[in-house]
Amino acid sequence: MARSDFGSVTGWVSSRAMTSGGRLRVTVEKNALSGAGGLISNTRIPDGTAYELGFDIQFHSQFDWSRGGKVGFGLGIGNGNTGCNLPTDGAGGTLRLMWYNNPSTNRVYFHPYIYHQGMPGPCGSNFGKSYPTSGSIEKGRTYKIHMYVKSNTGNNANGHVQLKIDGQAVIDQSIRWTTNDSRRFINNLSFHTFRGGKADEWKSGTDGYIYYDNLYVRQISK
């Protein structure tokens, strides 16, 4: 359906996705990281300078947190930098979501995972934000995710990034996504669900299941 609607969808692995109870269930496979054990799917969307999206997410009641991973839908700007490829040329950025099991605090939480012009590196920025601000996310609970991205112009920090979870603002601030105006347009809907990180501590010895529902994507301005 996505290919029919948008004409360009990459990275879908049918064996790791199924419909369960009216929801999409994605399997993140044991002993594997990144695309080797999950989904790294990208869909080309019409160029725009502002988009919003939303979706529901739930981790299975027996899900093994391991160290963490990327989850759900996100938005890409210009070259859509990911994978510790810092956008030093000012030609790309991304907003995605992670879950993270912090060994120093024994908390499991969501945080934004952002690539943007001027980021410190070595990989995506989280701006020190997390949800919840105390305690941990829960297996078996449905969380409502909302994202908003607005492009900036030139070298100005007049873009915007917003992530809300269950109506609570996790990050909501101005940002400089790019400095190359020819690459300032939001053009990609990502669906990245996998464990990692790169080290073995991010792996799990069991298959895990993550459920998605109620996706919407809206172009707000061209």
What per-residue confidence (pLDDT) applies to 49? Answer: 98
Type of residue at 94: T
**Is residue 111 over pLDDT 90?**
yes
Closest CA to 58 of 214, 182, 183, 204: 214
Contact in structure between 107 and 136 (CB atoms under 8 Å): yes
**Is residue 5 over pLDDT 80?**
no
Type of residue at 146: H
DSSP assignment, residue 61? T
What per-residue confidence (pLDDT) applies to 212? Answer: 98
Contact in structure between 74 and 97 (CB atoms under 8 Å): yes
**Domains of the chain from N-terminus onward:** 2-221 (2.60.120.200)
What per-residue confidence (pLDDT) applies to 8? Answer: 83
Q: In which residue are the tokens 């993550």 written?
A: 210
State the average pLDDT over residues 206-214.
Answer: 98
**Is residue 7 over pLDDT 80?**
no
Query: H or E stretch including 98?
Result: strand 92-102
What per-residue confidence (pLDDT) applies to 213? Answer: 97
- Summarised one tens digit per residue, pLDDT across range 55-83 is 999 999 999 999 999 999 999 999 999 99
**Is residue 115 over pLDDT 90?**
yes
What is each CA distance from 126 to 36, 116, 183, 185, 189, in whole angstroms?
Answer: 24, 11, 23, 22, 20
User: What average pLDDT does the chain have?
Assistant: 96
What per-residue confidence (pLDDT) applies to 3? Answer: 74
Q: Which two tokens stand for residue 152?
A: 């900036």
What per-residue confidence (pLDDT) applies to 84? Answer: 95
DSSP assignment, residue 9? E
State the average pLDDT over residues 101-118.
Answer: 96
β-sheet with 39-48: strand ranges across = 9-10, 39-48, 186-195, 68-78, 92-102, 107-115
Sign of CA dihedral 73, 177, 173, 34: positive
- Summarised one tens digit per residue, pLDDT across range 121-130 is 999 999 999 9
State the average pLDDT over residues 85-97.
Answer: 97
